[in-house]
Amino acid sequence: MSHHDLSHRDLHSEQGPRPGEHRHRSAQPVIKVHDIAWLEFEKPDLAAAEVFARAFGFSVTHRSAHELNLRGALPGSPCVIIRKGEGSRFVGPAFRAAATTDLLRLAEATGTKARRLPEHLGGLSVDVREPAGALVRVVADTIEHPALETQPVHTFNFGATTDRANRTQRPPRAPAVVERLGHVVLQTTRYLASLDWYLDHLGLIVSD
């Protein structure tokens, strides 16, 4: 007896949305952000946050009594910014605009103004609120830190290719190295309104 998995029979991504379905992208977004820049948090104990971050595989780019900036090994800006606060909370994401002109266009479209970021971050920022009230920061021209040493790659044998013979591998007892920030998952009480806002204002595209 044969069984056929029909769970994907109604997929039609190559043909685009059907009438009445969500469009999954904006035809004319205000800007198209280049990448995700960093995530911002508040923590009551920055020293404890730094200990955890280093054990997790982050490196520190800036530390003060009120702020901690963490980065991965690949070149770029910090990928996590933690500021001192009364409790632990996620403040919001920051996205990187492709150019300062895009940042100014977003500011004009949302009725906000671009502001200069602190010297240790560099560049400009536009702070806006999405429909559910969450803070969204868009930045441009931030400081790009050079690459750091990444995790050594182990040598493996595949098929008839024998690159390692009679040699053991002993990786160091050290945290795995974080390379970069890849994505962020956001929760909202106004799903469709927030989704449309990200598509229309930042040019994001639904991928899944």
Residues 6+ apart with CB under 8 A from 119: none
Please state, in angstroms and as integers, the Cα–Cα distance from residue 34 to each residue in 10, 139, 141, 170, following that order.
Answer: 32, 10, 12, 39
pTM strictly above 0.75: yes
Task: Give the number of domains in the chain.
Answer: 1
Enclosing domain of residue 118: 26-146+161-202
C-alpha dihedral (185, 186, 189, 195), degrees to nearest 10: -90
pLDDT in tens, the chain (208 residues): 555 666 666 666 666 666 767 778 898 999 999 999 999 999 999 999 999 999 999 999 999 999 999 999 999 999 999 999 999 999 999 999 999 999 999 999 999 999 999 999 999 999 999 999 999 999 999 999 999 999 888 888 888 888 888 888 888 888 889 999 998 999 999 999 999 999 999 999 988 7
Ramachandran bin of 57, using left for φ above 0, alpha for ψ from -120 to 50, beta for the remaining angles: left
Q: Determine how many CB atoms are found less than 10 A away from the CB of residue 134.
A: 19
Question: Looking at the domain assignment, is residue 191 inside a domain?
Answer: yes
Q: Whole-angstrom distance between the N-terminal and C-terminal Cα of the chain?
A: 33
Which domain CATH number covers 98? Answer: 3.10.180.10
